[in-house]
Chains A and B, each alone.
Chain A
Amino acid sequence: MAGVLVFCEVKDGKIKKASREALSIGRKLAESAGGDLVAIANDKSVAEEAGRYGAKKLFAAGVTQYSTEAWTSAIKQACDEVKPVVLLFGGTSNGRDLAPRVAARLDAGVASDVDQLSWNDGKLRARRPVYSGKAFATVDVTGTPAIATTRPNAFPAEEAGGAAAEVADVNASMDSKAKLLETKAPEAGELTIAEADIIVSGGRGLKEAQNFSLIKDLAHAIGGAVGASRATVDAGWIDHQHQVGQTGRVVSPNLYIAAGISGAIQHLAGMSSSKHIIAINKDPEAPIFRVADLGVVGDLFTVLPALTEEVKKAKAHH
């Protein structure tokens, strides 16, 4: 069976967006290869949703708490049964943790953080940003299965309208040397930059830590995540998990709003593949304007509050 197996993460009873994106490109690859799309998730509760995304079969791994080692055993067993030609992981923290471990167990190759996937002469061809987006590498994954982690937001999540996936159990070893002691939850309602559709980022132009409230207000009003330049993270104004760029996260949201960020090469590399970019900066020569679709030359301290008000008004009309 020239099938495609997709690791699906479930949150609040639903398949996470990054996994739905992986299912969607996985379905296309399976169709062209003449095989089935198969999903593996922690339990069978998402069989209907997986079916809507085209999965014919769902392996219920029974891994209740995330464990690299238990998941590796479960995916290995599913691979032994369905012998997929392609194995996909959404590029979340867990997907990135698991894909290389599984690959080493299967002696297979991985293309990570890919933003394009296609068949080329029977091989899985992937495009992936390297040097934080300063270049793109095209690679062929020649092993079996060919493994890839998909970049969040790079592939649209598209339902295919299929019936509920047939459920099969996995009875792999749950042994794990590493044990999860606790999970410290994020602040309620806070979106993370990795998967966000909209990111509002602040830079040194904010002048001091407390002015990040201007960024947070706009992000909150528009329903986006808070991003930050390296300079602000290094200055201790905001936590590293908000950092966009070469030593932070490379992101490609639908909308990226950069305020008070001049656009160091490392930052540009991390965000220039965003689909729509708005830059607000008082220096008309700031490098950020080279990648911006809409450049706003002006004072962020007056523009941001005005914009936040307009966004609130626009949202109120809906």
Chain B
Amino acid sequence: MNSVVCISHVPDTESRIKVSGDGRHIDEAGLKFIVSPYDEFALEEAIRLKEKNGGDVTVVTYGPERAAQALRECLARGATKALHIKGESADADALGIAKVLAAAIRSVPHDIVFFGKQGVGTDNGLVGPMTAELLGYPQVNVVTHLEVADGKLTASREIEGAEEVIEAPLPAVITAQKGLNEPRYASLKGIMAAKKIAIDTKSVADLGLDESNILNQRVVFVSLQLPPEKAGGRKIDASDPAAAAQEIIKFIREEAKAL
């Protein structure tokens, strides 16, 4: 049972975002980057499959030099192989990224392909299903429970307040939701072992793709703005709860018009 896990290297969720000089991207100076939180659930699930059934867990990322750190982190947690497609993915739209990843995935033996349900940051939630379509595989999106046996998978998919149970033959694409599992931390032994694994590196051209079809296509970034700082509104003291409740009701009725 071989798995591929696609990894996105994103700014730490604690970060404050600043706009770069070109007005279109974030300023990466001083930002700490992490493995996108949903990708951690994807990786953990793949590692558990490997522990049960054997095989490889290959982590793949498309991104600049720094994205190798994310792969290193995944190797330390238990991935067995890593493939880094180098490129300025910040200028690629989701379909461009999916094209790169689909080509990369084809170059690696796999029975199942994992993504996080979205990259925390750009928050598109597009690349997993796009890659599934490009590969011609079935997809199950936003998965909270997964069983794999006998060449097929059964997955629970979260929808508005309910859950769907879906069966699909392998190979298939899964996008992981929080709740799928509890991701492990890297052990010291894992960190040491990971150092011995070489990260395979390729360019977009090595995959037989033309960057002109990947970068600044289909969706063009015009600008990035920060939201206006909110000054904070009126404050009231609630030492008399009944009086405070009256004030709140007045706000709900007159300003939110919700009663």
- Which residues of chain A have a CB within 8 Å of any CB of chain B? 66, 68-69, 72, 92-94, 96-101, 103-105, 107-113, 125, 128-143, 176-187, 190-192, 194-195, 197-198, 222, 239-241, 243, 246-248, 250, 254-255, 265-266, 272-273, 275-278, 280, 284, 289-299, 302-303, 305-307, 309-311, 314-315
Contact = CB atoms under 8 A, between A and B. Distances in A.
| Binding site secondary structure of chain A | mixed
Interface of B: 11, 13-14, 16-17, 19, 26, 37-38, 93-95, 98, 120-134, 137-142, 144, 154, 157-169, 172, 177-179, 217-227, 230-239, 241-242, 244-249, 251-253, 255-259
Contacts of A266: 13-14
A305 B247 CA distance: 14
Contact of B259 (A105, A248, A311): A311
B222 A139 contact: yes
Given A110-B94, A140-B219, A132 B251 contact: no
B161 to A, nearest CB: 4
Contact of B130 (A92, A101, A192, A302): A101
A142 B237 CA distance: 52
Given A135-B26, A178-B139, A142 B218 contact: yes
Nearest to B222: A138
A93 B142 CA distance: 9
Given A195-B160, A254-B258, A272-B227, A295 B218 contact: no
A202 to B, nearest CB: 16
A132 to B, nearest CB: 6
Given A93-B142, A181-B165, A255-B252, A111 B219 contact: yes
A293 B133 contact: no
A265 B16 contact: yes
Given A138-B225, A310-B245, A112 B126 contact: yes
Contacts of A298: 237-239, 241, 244
A100 B97 CA distance: 12
Contacts of A94: 159
A227 to B, nearest CB: 13
Contacts of B162: 183-186
B236 A296 contact: yes
Contact of B123 (A104, A113, A290, A310): A113
A97 B141 contact: yes
Contact of A303 (B93, B95, B130, B244): B244
Given A198-B258, A298-B237, A177 B16 contact: no
6 A-B pairs closest in CB distance: A298-B238, A109-B218, A104-B133, A186-B161, A178-B138, A306-B245
A141 B218 contact: yes
Contacts of A280: 238
B114 to A, nearest CB: 16
B19 A135 contact: yes
Nearest to B225: A136
B165 A125 contact: no
